Structure 1
Amino acid sequence: MLFSKAAILNGTVSLCVCTQEQLEERRAEIHKRIQERLKDLEELKQAVESLKSSACREREESHLIFTQLIRSIQQKQAEVTALITAKEKAAVSQAEERMEQVEQEITELKRRDAEMEQLSKTEDHIHFLQNCQSLCAPPESGYLPSVTVNTDVTFEAVRKAVSELKGKLEDIWKREFERITEKVNEVCLWEPKNRAELLQCKSVFTGAFH
């Protein structure tokens, strides 16, 4: 059975003729396309739900990891502070002990000097001879060994080391953030068929940082 239809194409009248068989084939193609698109629609819905679920989960996990990272940095900060404080107390205690010993030695030397001055003025030769040798001899405990004191001692080198660590961490963070961003950009609801689709997929994510 023949069916005809007048159609205007490019300003001219053209006659489109098809058979029942061709019509049925065309309808079958349309039905198949409908089923394919329904399947695509269902898959897209599932993909969106999966994407949302994964995004929620990864936000929470990322937040937890960054919280742990912050705590780790804070712990190291506390450790450095404790190290400086412990070194300060130990050094001050050592210096105070040394100062006490120096002060005792100064007191002893002044006492000897006073006795020597008094002995030098005596006119009693016997008394002079009896005491001169003991006063001129070094003390039994000996004198304190000399030390070279660093009068400009500071913890500045520690601050420089921490500053260098900060710079290194910032460099690492910059590189790693670029890698993380790339991993985020790789997430796509469908497989890109060409570079244009790939760039379009990535632009959805990179646009959020502009």
Structure 2
Amino acid sequence: MNELTLPIVKKHLNSVQAKYLKQEHVDTLNKIAKDPEYGEEFVHIYIENMEAISSSSRFKQEHYINAVKFYTLLESGYNLTQSYMKVFPDRAERRREVNPETYEVVIRNEASRYNTSAIVNKIREFSSQPVKLLFRHVLLEAIETQAKLMRNSKSDHVRQKASEVLIRELKPDETKLEIGFDEETTSVIDDLRKAAEKLAISEMNSVKAGIPLNDISESIIIDVTPEEADE
């Protein structure tokens, strides 16, 4: 795996955060990535969720790195307390020295609170997004490339394949129109159907009886006069 560099990380940050990003932060990232307990999974989560902190200036790089470490360990199968103690070993040791009798309970509560912190929830939120959504910018670049091939390639075969890809990716999703009816609406529709059947039979009988069509068309078909409410 290629190591992260300062320019690569900076391009994922907003201007304020990029200003304060140091080479030492990047060195820390690469060091963590070489740790078997984190590995490449850490780097993937770090890069894919940069938007979690780039959308806000209140999250510092150190906080984000710790949160990614914590989330990576959780994804690797460690429980909350184990993950918290691995990310914050010094903090865990201080708790042990101060409260040896209640140490385990204290650490467990701290781990639980950290798991629901804003930055960890941000990472969890972005990690749960579909991969297609996370990499939509790559999809747009690919579509643009296919469009150029379709227009400019000298090969008929390449133009045809590019066109097929564009049609497949840009074709609007088919939408099904589903209309639901409640019992009252269904009853009204059924009444109208029955009235239409009676009307057709009545017209047919009138024609057979020799009544002019004009008289039939001008007659009252369905009486829809509302009933007056009793006073």
TM-score (norm: length of structure 2): 0.20
Q: Between Structure 1 and Structure 2, whose CA radius of gyration is higher? A: 1
Structure holding more strand per residue: 1
TM-score by length of 1: 0.21
Higher helix share: 1
